[in-house]
Amino acid sequence: MSPASASPLPAGGGGAAALRHVAIIMDGNGRWAKRRLLPRIAGHRAGMEAVRKTIRAAGELGVEALTLYAFSSENWRRPASEIADLMGLLRFYLRREVAELDRNNVRLELIGDWRAFEPDIVADLESARSRLAGNSGLTVALALNYGSQDELARAVRAIAADAQAGRIDPAAITATTIEQRLDTAGLPPLDLVIRTSGEERLSNFLLWQSAYAELLFVDTLWPDFDQAALESAIAAFARRERRYGGR
């Protein structure tokens, strides 16, 4: 069988590749707080500080894109009080942090169905994204109300609508057609997914995009993640041999 003509795989394959795009499942805020006999919100607050440190470190280490799983489409199942706390933190983060992100030349992308959030948060997200749009350093993609299956369902709906309107021939649909309609279109191919806190699952995060990504599960609880933890993850990535299905 000949290779697919429109393969989304990175060219080349084989050997260690440069690391362009890192994604993180930031897990363990609750356990971090519990160990200190603190309320869960204290863990999320400490998690927000880890977000600040990790963004700064990723920029300094020359990572091109950093995608952070900040709120999943399944997180709505949490108690209303915890959801309110997380939304409060997001508001606080956006208002407090945009100037610092701007100083660090960070660009902001948003993935997921974030427009379903409260109108004031949607407005803050849009304003942060447009303020940072001209920057040329690290791209931070915040996954907000994100679920991979929901993202794929939205992409399929968009393709079906195009097919129904005669804009696309169903026989011409390739992996690239799908990739172009994912929320991550425009971000570099995903190289490395890190999950903190010792859990070893993808939890509906970037399922399509992680087809050839390296997966790294570390025991560190998210609030304890920092520059050294990111450096050690990058070193572990550098020791992996990526073959993309080749030999």
Name the residues annotated as catalytic. 27, 75
Check residue 51 for interaction with ligand FPP (CB under 6 A). Answer: yes
Check residue 147 for interaction with ligand FPP (CB under 6 A). Answer: no
Q: Please say which residue, 93 or 237, places its beta carbon nearer to ligand FPP.
A: 93
In the set 48, 190, 192, 216, which binds ligand FPP (CB under 6 A)? 48
Q: What is the DSSP track for 216-242?
A: EE--S-GGG--HHHHHHHHHHHHTS--
Q: Please say which residue, 124 or 155, places its beta carbon nearer to ligand FPP.
A: 124
In the set 89, 111, 192, 233, which binds ligand FPP (CB under 6 A)? 89
Check residue 193 for interaction with ligand FPP (CB under 6 A). Answer: no
- Pairwise CA distance, residues 82 & 87, whole Å: 9
Beta bridge partners of 195: 25, 217
- For residue 61, the minimal CB distance to ligand FPP (Å) is 19
The rounded radius of gyration (Å) of the Cα atoms in the chain is 19
Q: Is 83 left (phi over 0), alpha (psi -120 to 50) or beta?
A: alpha
In the set 21, 44, 56, 107, which binds ligand FPP (CB under 6 A)? 44
- Letter for the amino acid at 242? R
By the 8 A CB rule, do 44 and 89 touch?
Answer: yes
What tokens appear for 1 in the block? 């069988």
Q: Which stretch binds ligand FPP (CB under 6 A): 42-50, 132-140, 149-157, 236-244?
A: 42-50
Continuous H helices in the chain: 29-35, 40-60, 80-103, 119-132, 148-164, 175-181, 227-238
Binding footprint of ligand FPP, residue count (CB under 6 A): 17
Check residue 70 for interaction with ligand FPP (CB under 6 A). Answer: yes
Check residue 90 for interaction with ligand FPP (CB under 6 A). Answer: yes
The closest alpha carbon to 133, from 111, 108, 112, belongs to 108
Q: Please say which residue, 16 or 219, places its beta carbon nearer to ligand FPP.
A: 219
- For residue 110, the minimal CB distance to ligand FPP (Å) is 11
Check residue 29 for interaction with ligand FPP (CB under 6 A). Answer: yes
Binding site for ligand FPP (CB under 6 A): 26-31, 44, 47-48, 51, 70, 75, 89-90, 93, 197, 222
